[in-house]
């Protein structure tokens, strides 16, 4: 005979397994969209392409092009000829959702 404690453990195990599988599939779909993102060049056509896009937004694109430093490029102390720049502006949009339990956004 199966005890109620065993049924509770089995049920909670199945529930957690379903939850984690759902989260895994959701993240896998996002990763697939990122990997299939179109590659665009940074050139004079890019502003027109963004303006023509739905909602003036391009979801998941790869931008390729030459980056020029504002002052001087950073050089690596460990690898000869390796240079880099620091990104000055990063735009992150967060969607506000009302949390009724905490009574906050």
Q: Is the pLDDT of residue 74 over 90?
A: no
d(CA 41, CA 101): 45
d(CA 46, CA 37): 15
Find residue 41's DSSP bridge partners.
Answer: 64
Task: Give a yes or no: residue 101 inside a domain.
Answer: no
Task: Give a yes or no: residue 71 inside a domain.
Answer: yes
Distances (CA, A) of 58 to 27, 33, 37, 87: 20, 13, 10, 20
Task: Give a yes or no: residue 90 inside a domain.
Answer: no
Q: For residues 35-39, give the mean pLDDT.
A: 88
* pLDDT at residue 98 in the model: 77
- Can you give the residue range of the structural domain that contains 36? 4-84
d(CA 44, CA 46): 6
Q: For residues 64-90, give the mean pLDDT.
A: 82
Total domains in the fold of the chain: 1
Confidence of residue 88 (pLDDT cuts 50, 70, 90): low
Backbone phi and psi for residue 90, each to the nearest 5 degrees, phi listed first:
-130, 115
């Amino acid at each position: 005979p199966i005890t109620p404690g065993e049924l509770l453990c089995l049920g909670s195990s199945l529930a957690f397994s379903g939850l984690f599988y759902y989260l895994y599939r959701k993240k896998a779909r996002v990763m697939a969209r990122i990997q299939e993102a179109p590659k665009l060049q940074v050139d004079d056509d890019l502003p027109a392409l963004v303006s023509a896009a739905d909602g003036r937004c391009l979801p998941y694109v790869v931008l390729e092009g030459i980056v020029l430093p504002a002052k001087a490029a950073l050089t690596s102390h460990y690898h000869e000829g390796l240079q880099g720049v620091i990104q000055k502006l990063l735009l992150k949009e967060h969607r506000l959702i009302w949390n009724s339990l905490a009574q906050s956004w």
